[in-house]
Chain A
Amino acid sequence: DIQMTQSPSTLSASVGDRATITCRASQSISSWLAWYQQKPGKAPKLLIYKASSLESGVPLRFSGSGSGTEFTLTISSLQPDDFATYYCQQYNSYSQTFGQGTKVEIK
Chain B
Amino acid sequence: EVQLVESGGGLVQPGGSLRLSCEASGFTFRDYAMSWVRQAPGKGLEWVSGISGSIYSGRNIYYADSVKGRFTISRDNFKNTLYLQMNSLRAEDTAVYYCAKLAYGDSPDYMDVWGKGTTVTVSS
Contacts and interface: CB of A to CB of B under 8 A. Distances in A.
Contacts of A92: 108
A43 B50 contact: no
Nearest to B62: A94
A96 B103 CA distance: 14
Nearest to A6: B44
Contact of A95 (B65, B98, B109, B114): B65
Interface in B75-124: 98, 103, 107-112, 114-117
A50 to B, nearest CB: 8
- Chain A interface category by residue count: 20 to 34
A98 B103 contact: no
Given A94-B62, A94-B107, A95-B65, A46 B47 contact: no
A87 B44 contact: yes
Contacts of B114: 43-45
Contacts of B45: 36, 38, 44, 87, 89, 98, 101
Interface of A: 1, 32, 34, 36, 38, 42-46, 49-50, 55, 87, 89, 91-101
